[in-house]
Copies of this chain bind each other. A is one copy, B any other.
Amino acid sequence: MATPRPGGRTARTKAQAFEAAAALLAERDAADIAMTDIAGRAGVAATSLYRRWGDVRSLLTEMAVERLMEDSPLPDTGSLEGDLRTWGRTVAQSLCSREGSAFFRILIATAPTEDADRVGRITALGPRIQQIYDLITRALERGEPAPGVMDVTDYLLAPIYVRALFGVPADQSVADRLVDRLLAMAKAGQLVSAPP
């Protein structure tokens, strides 16, 4: 049994399940993890995990999203450049770690498809888009010229994601260069995407 945590029974079960899932993920592929494995490791009843998450994929996705968002929260440095730089570095950094890369693979595996109504697929990539949206909205509220959500997705998030997929994760200098070029394009008026 993991030690009890504040927040009542539900929060405790979730924390135990996520801890167990993350530990299992450090040992094997997500495809080789069953709900009963997580239940056994967490010391909770599999039925309560099924009741809450429906299937192991949804549990793994929610855990991966939560951990990745904890790894790279939305910064608030007071400037768009500062926010983009800090955010880009932390996103890149989290994908360089074995754990972060495993979490990322779960997100990718559950990314939207035709049957996008499935909760796991929706929750997988939405939070990152929300972070970008919030970061840009703040910049616009400060009166700063800002790129559009898809510009940040195309020129900062996408290269970091795809480099991770190609097995050559972006380090901080790569992340910085991506931010520099994104800001240079915005400054040069090369970006035509509308702000959010």
Contacting chain B: which of A15-23, A38-46, A67-75, A162-170? A162-170
New contact pairs (12) apart from A31-B31, A157-B162, CB-CB < 8 Å: A98-B114, A101-B114, A108-B111, A111-B165, A111-B166, A153-B159, A154-B159, A158-B161, A161-B161, A161-B165, A177-B192, A184-B190
Q: How far is the CA of A177 from the CA of B192 in the complex (A)?
A: 9
Chain A: residues with Cβ within 8 Å of the partner, total of: 35
* Set B31, B121, B190: member contacting A181, Cβ < 8 A: B190
A3 on the B face (CB < 8 A): no
A105 contacts B by Cβ under 8 Å: yes
Asked if A155 is at the interface of the complex by the 8 Å CB criterion, the answer is: yes
Judge if A109 is at the interface, Cβ distance under 8 Å.
Answer: yes
A98 to B115, CA, bound (A): 11
Q: Would you give the 0/1 interface string for A121-141, flagging 1 where the beta carbon is closer than 8 Å to chain B?
A: 100010001000000000000
